[in-house]
Amino acid sequence: MSPVAGFDEQCGWIDILENASATGFAAGNWPLRPHTPAPTVTRFPLIRPDIPPLADWTPILEEAYRERRFTNFGPLSRRLEQLLAETWGGPQAVCIATSSGTAALAAPLIARGVSGRVILPAFTFPATLSAIRMAGAEPFLADVSPHDWRLDVDTLRHALDTTGARAAIVLCPFGLRSDFEPQARLVASRGGTLVVDNAAGLGVAGRPVEVSPHAFEACSLHATKPFAVGEGGVIFAHRSQEDDLRRALNFGLKPGSPTDLRGWGINGKLSELHAAVGLAAACGFSERLARRQALVARYVAAVKGREGLAACTDAAAGAWQFFPILLPDTAGAERFVTEAAARGMETRRYYAPALSILPDVERLGPCPVAEDLAARMCCVPVYSDATETEAGEMVAVFQAALAAALAPPSRGTTRPS
């Protein structure tokens, strides 16, 4: 059958002039349209959410209906908190469920009464900054290390000394395993507060910081994260901080005591609906994590020996919301995104732009490293449910897009005389 002129949902405008007589229009009368190349179908979107099937979590939710309890640290949230604390918290840690990763970052600052400037890296997702403003404090940017993309302890010390700040948020970039003990000791020695933004890192073995009254870890349970409920988050905190954190997440009120108001707070509690999803997500999580890590190991093997690229090569060091790879320059990163898209794979520049492009945020100085990283970092999809065929195709697309992006630009057709 010959194609019919018109709009095809997959392909956009097909060549209508060729088929003009079939549609009853004389070719000469048909308005000229620029030929738009057919957009490529995205076979591999950046994220395939790992939200458990309905059948897995609606039976858990029935408990909330029976008790008519849908939020306010209800039994499902408490059960999820206990499970996550036992699995990933240290001996002194409690886990507190929150309505988002952003609320999980803000609550420790509110609970500890932090005011004034709070140091944060310029290379992060904007939520890190939003959380500081949500807590009523003032974000103060510092640059990151070119070696590991993190805010190092010397820069943090300099930033604290310069500003008089007593609190900081540091980032585990892309949820990659990090060691923030030196930063935690520094902040604790000044009686301050350190929050580790490990938004994408829930599930990675080894905590970035030992919780203490001064050190907290916040993770996101957003639909894009490997441990996903839709919207949600968790805080790992020292047990001595639990009551103040719950107040901070409950308008300053002690949960269950509606007139016991001390300080102020936000509404940052996880609903029982999301907690039910979380309890279902915990089942089979380690198998899904292992499948993500196995796909990353194949990406890593595919880039081994290629000059000019930087990536974390330890597949066990991440839960892998996606796989970040640093291209040699901005033009190469742009080419990589285009080449991958042409082969049906969605990739994304992340964390771009660097927060230092914001004009109204104070900073220690210029942030050239964060800006350079943001201009070159590309993220590639990682799924927990890729079939063997899909995984092979994803690695092949990744390799081909890299090869095309790194190929030296063609020099045109002019022949030397």
Ligand X SMILES: Cc1ncc(COP(=O)(O)O)c(C=O)c1O
Contact residues for ligand X (CB under 6 A)? 100-102, 124-125, 127-128, 171, 197, 199, 220, 222, 233
Under 8 Å CB-to-CB from 183, ≥6 apart: which residues?
151, 153, 156, 168, 170, 194, 209
Comparing CB distances to ligand X, the nearer of 14 and 46 is 46
Please give the structure tokens belonging to residue 253.
């009120």
For residue 349, give the H/E element and its range.
Answer: strand 348-349
The sign of the dihedral angle between the CA atoms of 308, 314, 315, 321 is negative
Please give the structure tokens belonging to residue 381.
């999809």
Minimum gap (Å) between residue 221 Cβ and ligand X: 7
With beta carbons less than 8 A apart as the criterion, state whether 189 and 139 touch: no
Phi-psi region of 73 (alpha: psi -120 to 50; beta: other; left: phi over 0): left
Minimum gap (Å) between residue 302 Cβ and ligand X: 25
Minimum gap (Å) between residue 224 Cβ and ligand X: 6
Minimum gap (Å) between residue 80 Cβ and ligand X: 15
Comparing CB distances to ligand X, the nearer of 57 and 149 is 149
Comparing CB distances to ligand X, the nearer of 102 and 241 is 102
Minimum gap (Å) between residue 234 Cβ and ligand X: 10
Comparing CB distances to ligand X, the nearer of 224 and 338 is 224
Under 8 Å CB-to-CB from 392, ≥6 apart: which residues?
none
Provide the total of helices (H) and of strands (E) in the chain, helices listed first.
12, 15
Distance of alpha carbon 204 from alpha carbon 320, whole angstroms: 9
Cis peptide before 383 (omega within 30 of 0): no
Minimum gap (Å) between residue 51 Cβ and ligand X: 14
Distance of alpha carbon 74 from alpha carbon 64, whole angstroms: 8
Comparing CB distances to ligand X, the nearer of 125 and 236 is 125
Comparing CB distances to ligand X, the nearer of 156 and 218 is 218
Q: Spell 394-410 as b/e; 16+ CB within 10 A means b.
A: bbebbeebbeebbeeee
Q: In this chain, which residue has its C-beta nearest to ligand X?
A: 101
The sign of the dihedral angle between the CA atoms of 331, 335, 336, 337 is positive
Give the other-Cβ count within 10 Å of 42's Cβ: 13
CA 329 to chain centre: 23
Minimum gap (Å) between residue 100 Cβ and ligand X: 3
Comparing CB distances to ligand X, the nearer of 124 and 178 is 124
CA 109 to chain centre: 21
- CA diameter of the chain: 89
Comparing CB distances to ligand X, the nearer of 101 and 203 is 101
Question: Letter for the amino acid at 288?
Answer: R
Minimum gap (Å) between residue 126 Cβ and ligand X: 8
Distance of alpha carbon 36 from alpha carbon 221, whole angstroms: 40
Minimum gap (Å) between residue 103 Cβ and ligand X: 7
Comparing CB distances to ligand X, the nearer of 131 and 340 is 131
Comparing CB distances to ligand X, the nearer of 124 and 212 is 124
With beta carbons less than 8 A apart as the criterion, state whether 194 and 217 touch: no
Minimum gap (Å) between residue 330 Cβ and ligand X: 22
